[in-house]
Amino acid sequence: MKKLLLWRFSMPIVICMALACTEEQNFGQFDDLSVTPTVASSIFYLESTEEVINLTPTAIFYAHTFNFDPFSEQYVADHLLEGVLLFEIENTTSKQLSLSIEFLDENDDVLDVEVFTVDPEPTMLVTRSVAYGPGGKSLDILRNTSGLRVTAENLGDTVSVSTAEDPKIILGSAAEFRFRLQ
């Protein structure tokens, strides 16, 4: 009787341990894992009052070249799949204005340029999306960009004043990049 019970109770453990089995697994699937997050961030923001534009004796009331390395960081350059640069321009001044953003390489050579010409107020918010990667501009433009030159030019007069409250020109920009982490 004892032997029978011993058999009945202990054998399931032993059998389970000895004959434990599993359905077929394919650990090689891990190589197929695709991790491609989209990273979003603002890039550059310029805001100027109409008073500054009127007081500047030359047509170009803002021009600045500065280093901008995040696109050319090795990790970004190696893992960038595609990206979109977003621009928003709002002009509530009384002048037609031109804004340009030049993408410069290490030698300050121009890789690409985005130019915006905006009419005096009243005008709609100007937006533009520029795609890079498949179906868009070359990713090499971003990968080789190490500086930006931002230029703002007054195409109108220097005396008129907008009727809008607190008239300004505003340039906003952001990036949404998709990376391959795995």
Q: Which residue ranges make up the site for another protein (CB under 8 A)? A: 2, 5-6, 9-10, 12-14, 16-17, 19-27, 29-30, 32-35, 37-49, 51-52, 61-62, 64-70, 86, 88, 150, 170, 172-174, 176-179, 181
Contact 181, 79 (CB under 8 A): yes
Task: Give the pairing of strands 97-104 and 110-118.
Answer: antiparallel
* Closer to another protein by Cβ: residue 26 or 107: 26
* Closer to another protein by Cβ: residue 44 or 160: 44
* Closer to another protein by Cβ: residue 12 or 122: 12
* Closer to another protein by Cβ: residue 35 or 159: 35
Instruction: Tell me the backbone φ, ψ of residue 127, rounded to 5 degrees.
Output: -125, 150
**What minimum distance in Å lies between the beta carbon of 169 and another protein?**
9
**Cα dihedral 74→78→80→86 (10° resolution):** 30
**What minimum distance in Å lies between the beta carbon of 172 and another protein?**
5
How far is Cα 182 from Cα 179, in angstroms, rounded to an integer? 9
Task: Write out the two tokens for 168.
Answer: 């300004």
**What minimum distance in Å lies between the beta carbon of 138 and another protein?**
21
**Cα dihedral 139→144→147→149 (10° resolution):** -50
**What minimum distance in Å lies between the beta carbon of 23 and another protein?**
5
**What minimum distance in Å lies between the beta carbon of 157 and another protein?**
18
Task: Write out the two tokens for 23.
Answer: 């359905």
